[in-house]
Amino acid sequence: MRGILAGRLLALLVAAWVLLGLVGHDPWKPDEAHYLGVILDLLRGGDWVVPTLAGEPWVEKPPLFYIVAAMFASVGQKLLPLHDAARLAAGAFVVTAAIFLGLTGRELYGRGYGSAAVLLMLGCVGTIARMHQLIPDTALLAGIAIAMYGLAIARRATWAAGIALGVGSACAFLSKGLLGPGCLGVTALLLPLFKRWRRREYIGVLAIAFIVAVLPAATWMSALYARSPNLFSVWLVDNNFGRFLGFVRVGTRNPPGFYAYTLLWYALPVLPLAGYAGWTAWRDRVIWEDLELPALLASVILAVLAFASDSRDLYLMPIVLPLSLAGARSLRELPAAGVHTLSSTARLGLGALAVLLWLGWSTLMTGFPAALSMALLSYQPRYIPQVHWANLTLAIAVTAGAACFLYWRARTAGFALVQWTVGVTLCWGLIATLWMPFIDAGKSYRGMIRSIARELPAADCVNSLHLGEPQRALLLYFAGITTKRMEVDPSVECPSLLVQGWRQSGLSPPADHWILVWEGARSGDRKELYHVYRRSVPLNHRVEQYPN
């Protein structure tokens, strides 16, 4: 397994994978938008104890990710838009996760396997978009990777293992709450079932980890409780136990078995490779001993998610870490047929997808064939085809670099894996360069909010009704407007009212004295509908679709 990819080439591939798509688009709802709102409040004088969104307490998550993202935004906004600079924090956490995943692979299996595990993590088709978003889950990913490394070296070291496990657990807790440390804690307590972790020193590892993890976690929790016992209860009861057990209806509900069928595509190609490693371990005790840690951690994470009341594909992201470790171990025993399948899928499948992305973009720019061009433009009505030369240059460079790897037929499992990850990076790079303006045209709220802002001057008092957290955050970010929510305090009366609703259900004035002066939605959005009302003399009523 030596020499899967030279160190410099691996670093270049990781850098390209991380940076492509990390900047160059507006914050998108739902996740990026409201997390940006919290970061914006922190930059404008908020504190690390009680995160706020548009001036109101927002204690859904602990503050680690917000603090780090605010630091990146503060430093980087001189060169980048604030939201792009803040998103660099996600890249930093993903790089941290990759580093510790690589260290864990090398610790468990030897040289070369660390690179293989990193390539597998980067090659997962389901996580690539999520790992480029402004979300605390990237910090959770880094925390679990650090803790996993601590568990791996606990077989031979005490202090280093305890510190790594404690730091990773604290990072996971301060990113998303109890779920991450819970999975790590159960895994750590079950590991002595296996001989290599059944040693006296392992108790010391757990003790050190507990002290290291509890100190920062207890500091924030005690500060939050001292500030407001009610907010502490909202965070602990509603946003942790309530969401997990289902007695608080906050998260998304999906049908039973959601994670089982989602994982089939979400963890490609890691899942089949990890499955093959498990099959070979059934016959070989040595291989099974190598898989003890990743198999146990993956099982615990999947079991915890299966019992959770709410479900989203986003929550599966940490399971990619142990699956990547298991998949990396399978490469040594992967038969020629498996090598051929992985290489051919990368070269032909991902290569064909890259060609289609180039052809689709050419259709947008040239208008030929006309039928396809019209279909694409009807999907994003306000998108104006325009060649972005910097993006085009980068797309050409990425394509040329990937072609150097995809041209050759792989004869080893290591090179086949490199081809897969390069192919995924190529397709993602083309989406992030050629297609990003097209995608952003439909996802961005910038144009709509600026149109709303012309009816809602920042100096005015503005009421809002049914306005979601992402929209409140983006209204503040793009227009500097903080609304007075009627759901929170109906006694505050403002001359203007912004109401969010749905096209299917329609909207009616909340009272007779409200006069409709504006209505619309993002261009191409067939669900949301917004209305602006005035108490004063009626203005000319107009319906708008907004350029982005």
Q: Is residue 535 pLDDT above 50, yes or no?
A: yes
pLDDT given for residue 508 in this prediction: 65
pLDDT given for residue 512 in this prediction: 75
Q: Is residue 1 pLDDT above 60, yes or no?
A: no
* Mean pLDDT across 132-150: 98
Give the pTM. 0.94
Given pLDDT bands bounded at 50, 70 and 90, which one contains residue 92? Answer: very high
Q: Is residue 321 pLDDT above 50, yes or no?
A: yes
Amino acid sitting at position 301: I
371-390 as b/e, with b when 16 or more CB fall inside 10 Å?
A: eebeebbeebebbeeeeeee
Contact 131, 92 (CB under 8 A): no
Q: Is residue 522 pLDDT above 90, yes or no?
A: no
The tokens of 527 are what? 């669900």
Per residue in 344-401, pLDDT (tens digit) is: 999 999 999 999 999 999 999 999 999 999 999 988 888 999 999 999 999 999 999 9
* Strand arrangement of the beta sheet that strand 542-546 belongs to: 484-485, 462-465, 496-502, 528-534, 515-522, 542-546
Q: Is residue 437 pLDDT above 80, yes or no?
A: yes
- Give the Cα separation of 169 and 175 in Å (integer): 10
Per residue in 260-286, pLDDT (tens digit) is: 899 999 999 999 999 999 999 888 877
Contact 115, 151 (CB under 8 A): no
* CA end-to-end distance (rounded Å), the chain: 49
Q: Is residue 116 pLDDT above 80, yes or no?
A: yes
Q: Is residue 540 pLDDT above 50, yes or no?
A: no
* Mean pLDDT across 83-99: 98
- Give the Cα separation of 137 and 129 in Å (integer): 12
- Of 484, 479, 471, the closest CA to residue 451 belongs to 479
Give the helix/strand (H/E) hosting 116.
Answer: helix 113-123
Given pLDDT bands bounded at 50, 70 and 90, which one contains residue 244? Answer: confident
The 3 state secondary structure assigned to 160-225 is: HHHHHHHHHHHHHHHHHCCHHHHHHHHHHHHHHHCHHHCCCHHHHHHHHHHHHHHHHHHHHHHHHH
Given pLDDT bands bounded at 50, 70 and 90, which one contains residue 547? Answer: very low
pLDDT given for residue 252 in this prediction: 64
Helices (H), 434-467: 436-443, 446-453
* Mean pLDDT across 202-228: 97
pLDDT given for residue 106 in this prediction: 96
- Give the Cα separation of 495 and 188 in Å (integer): 58
pLDDT given for residue 144 in this prediction: 98
- Give the Cα separation of 160 and 164 in Å (integer): 6
* Mean pLDDT across 473-487: 92
For CA atoms 365, 367, 372, 378, give the dihedral sign: positive
Q: CA torsion, points 221, 222, 227, 229, in degrees to nearest 10?
A: 80
Instruction: Name the least confident of 100-104, 159-163, 234-238, 533-537.
Output: 533-537
Residue with tokens 């085009």: 392
Contact 62, 177 (CB under 8 A): yes
pLDDT given for residue 458 in this prediction: 60
- Of 109, 105, 92, 116, the closest CA to residue 18 belongs to 92
* Mean pLDDT across 498-510: 77
Q: Is residue 528 pLDDT above 80, yes or no?
A: yes
pLDDT given for residue 543 in this prediction: 45
Contact 168, 96 (CB under 8 A): no
Contact 455, 517 (CB under 8 A): yes
* Mean pLDDT across 66-82: 96
Given pLDDT bands bounded at 50, 70 and 90, which one contains residue 256? Answer: confident
The tokens of 55 are what? 């001036």
pLDDT > 90 fraction of the chain, expressed in percent and rounded: 75
Average pLDDT, the chain: 91
∠ CA 207-99-77, nearest 5°, is 105
pLDDT given for residue 541 in this prediction: 47
* Mean pLDDT across 404-425: 95
pLDDT given for residue 546 in this prediction: 46
The tokens of 249 are what? 């209806």
* Mean pLDDT across 275-300: 92
The tokens of 361 are what? 């973009």
* Mean pLDDT across 483-512: 82
Q: Is residue 539 pLDDT above 50, yes or no?
A: no
